[in-house]
Amino acid sequence: MTLDDVHRRLSPDFNRLLKVLWRDGHPDWVPFYELFANVPVIEKVLGRPAPDSVSAVEFYYQLGYDYVPVPPELPLKLGDLVDSRRGYPIHDRATFNEYPWPSASETGVRQISAVAQVLPAGMRIVGQTFGIFESAESLFGYRGLCEKLYDDRPLVRDVFQRLGALYEVVYTAMARHPAVGAVVISDDLGFKGQALVSPADLRELVLPWHKRLARIIHDNGKPCILHSCGNLEAIMDDLIDDVGIDAKHSYEDGILPVAEAYRRYGGRIAILGGFDVDRLVRSSLPEIRRGVDVLLDDLGSRGGYALGSGNSIPEFIPLDHYLTMMDQGWRRRVL
SS (H, E, C) 150-195: HHCHHHHHHHHHHHHHHHHHHHHHHHHCCCEEEEEEECCCECCCCE
How far apart CA 126 and CA 118 sit, in angstroms, is 15
Q: Are 251 and 261 in contact (CB under 8 A)?
A: yes
pLDDT along the chain (335 residues), means of 10: 91 97 94 98 97 97 98 96 91 97 95 98 98 98 97 98 98 98 98 96 98 98 98 98 98 97 98 98 98 97 96 98 98 76
Q: Which residues contact 257 (CB under 8 A, 6 or more apart)?
A: 251, 274, 276
Q: Are 107 and 74 in contact (CB under 8 A)?
A: yes
pLDDT confidence of residue 334: 60
Which residue stretches of 99-152 are H helix? 110-116, 132-140, 142-151
Where do the CATH 3.20.20.210 domains begin and end in the chain? 74-107+130-233
Q: Under DSSP, is residue 284 helix (H, G, I), strand (E, B) or coil?
A: coil
Backbone angles phi, psi at 213, to 5 degrees: -65, -40
Quote the Cα angle for 243-116-209, to 5°: 20
Which is nearest to 299 in space by CA: 320, 329, 323, 327?
329
- CA distance from start to end of the chain: 19
Instruction: Give all strands of the β-sheet with 180-186 in edge-to-edge order.
Output: 67-70, 124-129, 180-186, 224-227, 247-249, 270-272, 305-306
How far apart CA 310 and CA 274 sit, in angstroms, is 4
pLDDT confidence of residue 86: 87
Using the Cα atoms of residue 146, residue 152, residue 156 and residue 159 in order, give the sign of their dihedral: negative
- Strand-pairing partners, residue 68, are 125
How far apart CA 283 and CA 267 sit, in angstroms, is 30
The length of the chain, given as a count of residues: 335
pLDDT confidence of residue 335: 47
Q: Which residues contact 121 (CB under 8 A, 6 or more apart)?
A: 12
Q: Are 7 and 327 in contact (CB under 8 A)?
A: yes
pLDDT confidence of residue 207: 98
Assigned architecture for domain 74-107+130-233: Alpha-Beta Barrel (3.20)
pLDDT confidence of residue 333: 86
Tell me the longest C-alpha to C-alpha distance in the chain.
63
